[in-house]
Amino acid sequence: MSQNFNHIQQNVDAGCQHSDSLQIDTKKSFRNFKLFFASARLKEEETWLTDNKIDLVISDVASLPMKAAGNLKIPTILIGNFTWYDIYSHFPEAKNETHLIQSLAEEYSHSTLQILPQCHLDNQIINHKKEVGFIANNGKNIRNDLISFLGKSAENKKLIFIYLGEHGTRSVNWSNLRNNKDCLFLTRDPIKHPDVHFIDDKFSYHDLIASSDITLTKGGYSTLATSFANHKPVITCERDDFYEFEAVREYLQKWQIGIIVKSTPFKQGDWQEPIKEALKLTVKNKVPLNGEIEIAKIVQQMLS
């Protein structure tokens, strides 16, 4: 059964600012964070919730809606494998910004429930939590159609799907990919290089992951979850600037479903050995999936 949604675009958190696809600009992130907090309109949010007779607020992973709803005694669900409190409190500048960090913690503390999908960070600021499987979209294996589209160059090759985001075009020495003679590299990123095949929206992101042998990524949650839901191992870059990666590292190593490459060889495109190792891994039936189904049940229970 289809549902109709009204979508009103607005800024609900500051997020993080990137210097490239693999590096956070922590100073700029804090500047934006402070500007957002200074302009946050709590009362306006409360008024909107009241005027629209909202029964439940769900957030991923903004903190302001949690406080606005909490002040009105409206139940809330925070869905996310991390909070911005987790991330910002581990930036080098955090020691000088304790008031802002505590303000984030206070807003999150109004959450009725935090749903923790797999590969998550835990926290001590939200009292009630529920762990679920990965939240992901299953793709369709269209490998035959994909190879037909790519031509003879794709025949008998391992297909490697690259997702580094829009900043990823400048993050890697793409020329070194030609050392991987038995691989063909695909992407939806705007990478302009003869050794990387750019695929437009003729094929969906989820179908491309489902049809490839490996996903090579910066390690964001959505890409990891989609890869595992489609039983694909991942290769990702070591990241010491974004605290979420602590959970990613632990999860990949525990379940042996991905390979972590140090930052320098990753950016050099030195991927031959990681690809060989990733091809040895299996993912199917190793990790909990169907988090979206579990969440739908929780939402129904809270609304009943």
Q: Record the pTM.
A: 0.93
What range defines the domain where residue 65 resides? 18-133+292-303
At residue 165, the pLDDT reads 83
- What is the rounded distance in angstroms from the CA atom of residue 119 to the CA atom of residue 236? 14
Residue 110 shares a structural domain with residue 161: no
149 falls within a domain: yes
Q: What whole-number distance in Å separates Cα of residue 273 and Cα of residue 221?
A: 24
Number of domains in the chain: 2
Q: Is the pLDDT of residue 89 over 90?
A: yes
Instruction: Please give the pLDDT value at position 168.
Output: 64
Establish if 297 belongs to a structural domain: yes
Whether pLDDT at 21 is above 80: no
pLDDT confidence of residue 5:
78
Asked if residue 6 belongs to a domain, the reply is: no
Checking if the pLDDT of 32 tops 90, the result is: yes
| pLDDT tens-place string over residues 172-226 | 999 999 999 999 999 999 999 999 999 989 999 999 999 999 999 998 999 999 9
In a domain, 218, yes or no: yes
Chain-centroid distance of CA 30 in Å reads 20
* pLDDT exceeds 80 at position 1: no
What is the average per-residue pLDDT within 93-119?
Answer: 97
Q: Are residues 185 and 109 in the same domain?
A: no
Residues 165 and 121 in one domain: no
The SS3 call for residue 196 is strand
Question: Quick one: DSSP state of residue 134?
Answer: -
pLDDT, tens only, 219-255: 899 999 999 999 999 999 998 888 999 999 999 999 9
Neighbours of 92 (CB within 10 A): 10
